[in-house]
Amino acid sequence: MSLTRQDVEKIAHLARLSITEQEMPVYVTSLSSIVEFVDALSRVHTGDVLPMAHPLDGQQQRLRADVVTESDHHEKFQANAPAVQAGLYVVPRVIE
């Protein structure tokens, strides 16, 4: 199955990726070849096989006591942010 330019534009939008004019034809071709490659899976009879999401079956998600275990490191963490003001992350205006 091959993907069209419109398909790739839609996927890129869903993935929140800007794709340049120059990159676009490369992705149309390579994503098509990947989709074609993984299409081999459609020929496998899987009937009532249970989907496997985790490599070690029977693992239970652990619970922990609802107590504070981490201290406040916001200054250290926010040192990596592109724009911070008064301890808040700065982004373009969302609400007029």
Partner 1 sequence: MLHNLSIGELSRSLNSGQISSVELTRHFLARIERLNPALNALITLTATQALESAARADARRAAAGERGPLLGIPLIHKDIFCTDGVRTSCGSRMLDNFIAPYDATVVARLKAAGAVMLGKANMDEFAMGSSNETSYYGPVKNPWDTTKVPGGSSGGSAAATAARLAPFATGTDTGGSIRQPAALTGVTGVKPTYGRVSRFGMIAFASSLDQAGVFAHSAEDAAIVLQAMAGFDARDSTSIDIPVPDYPETLNAPLKGLKIGLLREFFDGLEARNAALIHDALKLYTSLGAQTVEVSLPHLPLSVPTYYVVAPAECSSNLSRFDGVRFGYRCEAPKDLLDLYKRSRGEGFGAEVKRRIMTGTYVLSAGYFDAYYLQAQKVRRLITDDFRAAFGQVDLLIGPTTPTPAFAIGAKIDDPVTMYLNDIYTIGANLAGLPGLSLPCGLIDGLPMGLQLIGPHFSEAKLLNAAHLYQQSTDWHKQAPRGFE
List residues bridging with 84 in a β-sheet: 89
Between 18 and 86, CB nearer to partner 1: 18
Binding residue (CB under 8 A) for partner 1 from 6, 46, 71, 85:
46
Residue environment code for 11-33, b if the CB has 16+ CB neighbours within 10 A, otherwise e: ebeeeeeebeeeeeeebbeebbe
Minimum distance from CB of 42 to partner 1 (Å)? 6
Binding residue (CB under 8 A) for partner 1 from 6, 21, 58, 61:
61
CA gap 24, 68 in Å, rounded: 48
Minimum distance from CB of 55 to partner 1 (Å)? 3
